[in-house]
Amino acid sequence: MELLSDVKHSVTSELSGIHQALTREAAVHNDYSLMQGLAGVNLFLAQHYQYQPVKNDADLAVIHDLCNRIAEQCGSVDDLSFARGLSGMLWSLSYVNRLFDHSLLDTGSFDDIDADLYASLQDKMDNGNFDLLFGSLGDYIYLRERNAIRNPEDFAALYHKVIKASTYGVNKKYFWLDYMNVKLGKGYAYNLGLAHGIPSMWYLLTDIAGFLPAAAQQEIAGIICDSYEAMKTFSINGDDLQFSKFPTEIRLDDQLQERTDYNRRSTRLSWCYGDLAIASTLLHAGKQLQHKGLYAEGLALADRTLKRDTRGSAVIYDNCLCHGGSSCILIYNAIYRTTGLQRFRDASIYWYEQGLDFKRGDGYFFYEDKDVPLAEKSSLLEGLTGIGLSYQSLVQPATSDWQKILLL
């Protein structure tokens, strides 16, 4: 549905300002990663360029220059991760190049790197690291963009690795441990967001299912159903719609049983937390796997989130994409694409208008621990790039292919 003219004018104006700020940033920034640096900035600039009615040669030159600079850096990057390293940088180059009909650079040299990253992906899976930002799931998203995983046998092998890594054999739940939580010495936990958590595994299983026989697809739908049914036993605030249904995480003892010595608080309404991430992934799985039960569960949870329509009840402190208001814009638009229901489009617009309140004369207010306001920053997860991409989803709701990097 077309935006009202005043909203469209507002969004277009904001996008113009963000474009100018990120173009300036492109000339001086020296972080080339996807989620924090120039690989993310270039994604926004390329998307913005594609949908301008009048193309500007200077804008194209900036995009082309960034592609060359990012490509030059790829040879000296030690970090292989999607968020801060090689696989994310290569994903950005491949995607932006595809937007421009493969005319910006020759990506044939990526083939050898693809083989190395595929081996790295399998090794990470074998070690239980399915993290999107720093593990095998990020590598998977890159390799899928490159069409580097092709054979049904390869997808079947990955499927078995995913199931083997679940804790089903321990506690009869298809759950997956938060690898980063353990690595950082914070103990065992099940995370319920898309960056590090169980919904990301549902997304991975749903994507793999598309390359498997019908019987395996039905089996995967059943696994996701069982996983969500088990997750519901950890719900909180069930009757109070002003609070989240699910916590951020479920902390565990050494026997992988829930600990009772911590507070499970209402969580933010955002990408890296529970309810919205769970709802959007259930809806996606329900639609892709043609499973009415999953779809209905996702829709019920998505509708429940609509009741948290104040920044206080949504626990929204800033406008960033990871944990702020812009994630509501993007996810509600994704739910709108899946369902076609206008109420989710309306919610997306509502959170855009709420987010404008975080704008100051020198840019947007960003939040970290203890309410510390930060200077303007450009990152995709926590800065202007992510805000700009979420705003683009309002005026171009169908241009969602890039959102796979966020599992949307």
* Binding site members for Zn(2+): 272, 322-323
Helix (H), strand (E), coil (C) string for 69-99: HHHHHHCCCCCCCCCCCHHHHHHHHHHHHHH
Q: Position 330: which residue type?
A: L
The span from the CA of 327 to the CA of 267, in Å, is: 14
Of 143, 135, 43, 28, nearest in space to 85 by CA:
135
* Closest C-alpha among 220, 219, 135, 130 to residue 176: 130
Q: Which residue has the tokens 């790039």?
A: 385
Q: Give the distance from CA 353 to its chain's centroid.
A: 22
Please give the sequence-ordered ranges of beta strands (E in DSSP) within 151-235, or none if there are none: 189-191
DSSP state of 261: S
Find out whether 384 and 377 touch, Cβ atoms under 8 Å: yes
- Tell me if 9 sits within 8 A of 62, measured CB to CB: no
The distance between the two most distant Cα atoms of the chain, rounded to a whole number of Å, is 61
Question: Which residues are within 8 A (CB) of 205 and not within 5 positions of it... i.e. 6 or more apart?
Answer: 159, 162, 220, 223, 224, 285
Q: Could you tell me if 33 and 85 are in contact, meaning their C-beta atoms sit under 8 angstroms apart?
A: yes
Residue that the structure tokens 């969500």 belong to: 228
CA distance 295 to 288: 10
d(C-alpha 13, C-alpha 3), whole Å: 14
**Angstrom distance (rounded) from CA 174 to CA 165:** 9
Three-state SS at 258: strand
Cα 85 from Cα 146, distance rounded (Å): 17
Shortest CA distance to 34 belongs to which of 99, 102, 103, 80? 80
Cα dihedral sign for 214, 220, 223, 228?
negative
Residue type, 296: A
CA distance 290 to 304: 22
Detail the residues annotated as belonging to a binding site.
272, 322-323
